[in-house]
Structure formats: structure tokens, C-alpha cells
Structure 1
Amino acid sequence: MEATVAQVQGGYFLITGQWPIFSIRTFIMVTGPKTDLWLVKTVGAVLAVIGAALIAAGLADQVTQAVVLLAVASAAALAAVDVIYASRKIIASVYLLDAVLEAALIAWWVASLLL
């Protein structure tokens, strides 16, 4: 099951990470105005790289403890940023949807490790 979780999270990160790189206009339409577009694209690139690594690990059935740590910790970090800054109204509340998805991924990892 870990390989499947890695591939799903990897796909989500790869797609959402590439989005601001390939269409910053639509990204801003959904997520709200940004001041530092270079930073948005940098974070996107890093997420896309994490996503690609998770997909590769899942496809090769090589989901090690390090891969699980990367997956869970990155999802937790993103969820924390989403909740903290959306609650302070620094970022749009649409980011709370991402926080829910990140929490679901973490729960799926926990379930896959316990089964």
C-alpha cells in the first residue's frame, strides 16, 4: 500500500508544484494575489521535485523510511503553513482545502504503515 500512497501524493505534488510554473495567471486566479512570483515558482519547483521522487519510489516499490519521512513531513509542513497563514488571513482560505488534502495523505500514510 505504501507504493500507492507514494504515487498518489507524488502525483498531487507534481501537478500542484508545476501549476504556478506553467500558468501563474490561473494559479493566482484560484489562490489570490502574490507579491513574489519567483518565490511561488521556487516552492512549486521544489514540490514538483518531491512529487517526482515519491512517484519514482512508488513505481520502483522502494518506499523506504526516508521516503515516508519526506512524504509525511512535507505534507505536515504544507498543512501547517496553510492553516496558520489562512487563519491569519495572509493567504486565501482556499489553502485550507489543501490542508485537508495534506491531512488526508498523512492519515493514509499512517493507515498504510499500521496495516
Structure 2
Amino acid sequence: MTPARLARAQGGFHVLSGVWPLVNRRSFEAITGPKADVWLLQTVSGLLVVIGWAQTRGAGTDAGDALARRLGIGTAATLLVVDVSYAVPGRIRRIYLLDAAFQALWLTAWLRARP
């Protein structure tokens, strides 16, 4: 997959996953579990939307693809570590292991994509 296509795909994923809890927190929490700190949920969601927007808007230029790659790798690695660190011991629902799998796929795709 080209870096531009990968940036758009992961960026879209980030935008959708970030918007979901902002638009319908009830359905998000029905699947992922109740959140004690709504402000933290909103902060992470907002950051995912911004990261995704930057990835999709920058895609297609050398500088934009490079930025999307750094954002993509950094975000995927961070979310993967957090998902696994908290889902495995049961601090958060195991559904986050599904997100960890997605993050591992994004990370692998970026590491295989030509820089």
C-alpha cells in the first residue's frame, strides 16, 4: 500500500473511532465499558480526530506522507501498548484487545510501507 493510501486509511479510522464516543457515548460505553473520567475520554477522542484529520489532509505529498507516517507509527504504538497493558490484566474490557490487533496491523503496514 502506498504511504498516501495508508495515511488516508488510518486517518479515516482515527477520525471515526474518535468521533464515535463524542457523538454517542452511550453506545461506545456499552461496548467498551463505563468511563469514570468523561473528560479523559473526550480528550483522547478529540486527539484521535485531530491526528486522523492531519493524516488524511497531508496524504499525497512527500512532507505530508512523512508526517502521516510519524503520526501513524506513534499513535499505533502508543494505543497498542495501552490496550494490552490494561486489557490483559482486566483493568479495561478485553474488547480493547481487538483495538490492539488493529493497532498492530497499522504499525506493521507503516513499517512495511516505503518511506
**Cα RMSD over matched residues?**
1.4
One-letter amino acid matched to 2:113 = S
1:1-115 mapped onto 2 (5 Å cutoff): 1-59=2-60, 62-64=64-66, 66-113=67-114
SS in 1 for 2:93: coil
Deviation, structure 1 residue 67: 2.9
Count how many residue pairs are aligned between Structure 1 and Structure 2: 113
How far apart, in 2, do the equivalents of 1:67 and 1:52 lie?
10
2:59–2:68: 8 Å Cα contact kept in structure 1?
no
TM-score (norm 2): 0.92
SS in 2 for 1:5: helix
Deviations 1:3-49 (A, max 9, x none): 00000000000000011111000000010111111110110000010
TM-score (norm 1): 0.92
1:7–1:59: 8 Å Cα contact kept in structure 2?
no
1:20–1:40: 8 Å Cα contact kept in structure 2?
yes
One-letter amino acid matched to 1:24 = R
Identity over the aligned pairs, expressed in percent?
Answer: 37
Structure 1: unaligned runs, 5 residues or longer = none
Show structure 1 runs of 4+ deviating over 3 A. Answer: none
How far apart, in 2, do the equivalents of 1:37 and 1:59 lie?
35
